[in-house]
Amino acid sequence: MSLVITLPDGSKKEFNHALTIKEVASSIATSLAKSAVAGKVNDEIRPLDFVVDTDARVAIITDKDEEGLQVLRNTAAFVFEMVASKQYPSVRLGTSELEEDGFFVDTDKEDQIKASELPDLEKEMQKIVKNGEKIEYKIVSKSELLDLFKDDPYKLELLKEEADEVAVYKLEDFVDFGFNALLLNTGKLKHFKLLSVAGAYWQGKSSNPMLQRIFGTAFFKEADLKADLQRREDIKERDHRTIGRDLDLFFVDPKVGAGLPYWMPKGATIRRVIERYIIDKEVADGYQHVYTPVLMNLDAYKTSGHWAHYREDMFPPMDMGDGEMLELRPMNCPSHIQIYNHHIRSYRELPIRIAELGMMHRYEKSGALSGLQRVREMTLNDGHTFVELDQVQSEFAKILKLIMEVYRDFDITDYYFRLSYRDPKNTDKYFANDEMWERSQKMLKGAMDDLGLEYVEAEGEAAFYGPKLDIQTKTALGNDETMSTIQLDFMLPERFNLSYVGKDGEEHRPVMVHRGIVGTMERFIAYLTEIYKGAFPTWLAPLQVKIIPVNNDAHGEYAQNVKDQLMKLGFRAEVDFRNEKLGYKIREAQTQKVPYTLVLGDDELQHNSVNVRKYGSEDQESKALSEFVSELSADVASYSRNK
């Protein structure tokens, strides 16, 4: 026989026999064969012992390639499965998948695997690795696997998606399928870690059993693993769910409603400060703030297109019994359209800017819910501007200027601009009007070019009704997230028959500009909590000043007097009257990340002064109360920005 292997550089190698990917690598270079972990055959990832027996394109995957890391992590997941099945004979295995930074395996047994058991499972995995045991690849019939897994409902479910012949891997007596490629043996799997345990519904459906999801990661180099574990530790410290619990900001209790946050007094204070700030900024910028209902007739969402394009993310309609169907709103735009349409509008009024902290509801699956990041009820800092066509560019620039001012006050600096266009091939998602799309996308791009701002372009990221500018931020956990957006919309004004009377006395169609400055209150506060690590700047801190009398009897009255003065000036202050040691109270104020701690003793009482300790500093400084008030006022007025 004769076959031709085409390499990535276009060169060809001829062979007179079938050969494995490993042998292909050896024919190119001995060093390549040593670093090889898998290969690509006609763009499909295959293990090194996969036999190539026809003409094919072949690329060698090494331990330096991203796909090589995927092979390593798949192998780690497979070895974990083998060890788990050995340690717990009754365990049943569900899905095993890769994620951005590692892998996870879903397991199910009567007493679910606990986090405390992971170190022992790791040790058993290390024994397998140390021995460098062979992992065998072969093709078996589906019927053979149906018999092998007859007592495992999860594997039987997964086998429904497989063809009549299935690729499997075998380690000792353990067999599994669903992996595109694993290492030839366990020898290279030296640097791995089982990380955590969480619950996960089988196939993500809340009606299915809750399984135990084991997370892990693996690297080819020990230094890379250590760096990743350090990064994860930093993420854990910044996780807004952990900080929210420790600082008593909010909680979510599935017993009373998954994805429905309860804001505790401290968290509610942070939210209130942000809401007041945003409203004041918008009113000063010409917005009219409104309140609109969270319920709306379903027909409005059918007119807007949300029902057709967004139905899966909407709650089921409520039948009011008289033919009226009400819907919990997933978006505020139809509500603001009703505000605009309530009066006859003139060109003299435009631009008309309508804003609201509008509560919305989204039908999020249970598995997708996460703290304040993904919730079912949220309040959006929403706004819609209705403009004439020749006002679009100037209004766009005005909105962007407002966004930049807000970013400056919150010290948000890590962001970039993304122009989000439609995917013209996706006729299901996007409103079908080529002329409208071309016009609005050209207008949006022109506005950015006129401002001289750099941006990236992304096809398929537009809203279903129009293109948008997304301002993408990096969260403290390294995720790319849309913080703000400005969207051009020619569609909804058409669908709702919006108009204004122009200079010529005739009716004209306005352009609608959707914009969000900081997104939802929930996600924004999660973002800030992680960026600040819970140490909110003074103007945002739920408690700005903790006052500690050295002796409650001797200095308590003065401490209360200082608190009253600060409260009258609008600051958030509290006296710690607990019967605890002074050092303990000071340390706890630091743990709670209070910006200023005032310790008041005899000297402070005598001189009407305060002893000031700033959060994060061991230094203390005595100063007149009036001087401290001036310092505190300046801190808050400057939004606690670094000078």
* Residues contributing to the annotated binding site for Zn(2+): 333, 384, 514
* The dihedral sign for the CA sequence 529, 531, 533, 537: negative
Query: Phi and psi of 569, rounded to 5°?
Result: -85, 0
Are 575 and 300 within 8 A, CB to CB? Answer: no
The H or E element that residue 288 is part of is strand 288-289
Ranges assigned E (strand) in 300-446: 318-319, 325-328, 352-361, 377-387, 415-421
| Residue listed under structure tokens 């005595």 | 622
Which residues, in sequence order, are CB contacts of 31 under 8 Å at separation 6+?
Answer: none
Helix (H, G, I), strand (E, B) or coil at 546: strand
Phi, then psi, of 11 in degrees rounded to 5: -70, 160
Q: Residue 167: what residue type?
A: A
* Side-chain half-sphere exposure of 443, counting CA atoms within 13 A: 25
Q: Which residues are annotated as a binding site?
A: 333, 384, 514
Q: Quote the distance between the C-alpha of residue 337 and its chain's center.
A: 30
Residues 616-622: contacts with CB within 8 Å, 24+ apart? 616/535, 616/590
Question: How many CA atoms are closer than 13 Å to the CA of 379, on its beta-carbon side?
Answer: 17
Q: Distance between CA atoms of 522 and 395, rounded to whole angstroms?
A: 27
8 Å CB contact between 387 and 347: no
513 vs 487: CA distance, rounded Å: 6
| Alpha carbon 424 to chain centroid, angstroms | 27
**What is the rounded radius of gyration, in angstroms, for the C-alpha atoms of the chain?**
31
Cis preceding-peptide flag for 47 (omega within 30 of 0): no
Burial class, 235, CB count within 10 angstroms (exposed 0-12 / middle 13-18 / buried 19+): middle
Token couple for 539: 């103007």
User: For the purposes of burial, counting CB atoms within 10 Å of the CB of 293, is it exposed (0-12), middle (13-18) or buried (19 or more)?
Assistant: exposed
The Cα–Cα gap between 209 and 14 comes to: 53
Q: CA triplet 546, 550, 553: central angle to 5 degrees? A: 110
* CA-based torsion, 492, 365, 534, 272: positive or negative: positive
- What does the alpha-carbon distance between residue 588 and residue 83 come to, in Å, rounded to a whole number? 44
